Amino acid sequence: ETGVTQSPTHLIKTRGQQVTLRCSSQSGHNTVSWYQQALGQGPQFIFQYYREEENGRGNFPPRFSGLQFPNYSSELNVNALELDDSALYLCASRRDRGLNYGYTFGSGTRLTVV
């Protein structure tokens, strides 16, 4: 197992632009979740994918969307970026459903919107 890898590590975007963040999960990890962590705050749940379908979503607007691919990689897309979207975006994956405690987190992508 090689862990969870996220890219890029840092990113600066302008308000109104679109961004795609990428995550590569461990082989066999069918469930992936994305979290947003603002400075000084705990991670906030964005959404979860299981076997390439979204099966849970937090209080985030539709401009936050995602994809999960058969090769255990996934993407988080954010359209019409706002200044408040500046945060650390974390990807977490696990092997099975119903086992929330088994998540492995990546180191995150630090997004700055100017």
For another protein, the binding residues (CB under 8 A) are 4, 33, 35, 40-45, 48, 55-56, 58, 90, 92, 97-98, 100-108
Cα gap 106→35, rounded to integer Å: 11
Residues 6+ apart with CB under 8 A from 41: none
Q: Which two tokens stand for residue 10?
A: 């840092």
Question: Taking the complex as a whole, how short is the minimal distance between the CB of residue 16 and another protein, in angstroms?
Answer: 28
Choose between 23 and 113: whose C-beta lies nearer to another protein: 23
Question: Taking the complex as a whole, how short is the minimal distance between the CB of residue 25 and another protein, in angstroms?
Answer: 13
Looking at the chain, which runs of residues are DSSP E strands? 5-7, 10-13, 19-24, 31-37, 44-50, 53-57, 64-68, 73-78, 87-94, 104-105, 109-113
Question: Taking the complex as a whole, how short is the minimal distance between the CB of residue 5 and another protein, in angstroms?
Answer: 11
Question: Taking the complex as a whole, how short is the minimal distance between the CB of residue 99 and another protein, in angstroms?
Answer: 8
Choose between 80 and 97: whose C-beta lies nearer to another protein: 97
Choose between 66 and 106: whose C-beta lies nearer to another protein: 106
Cα gap 30→25, rounded to integer Å: 9
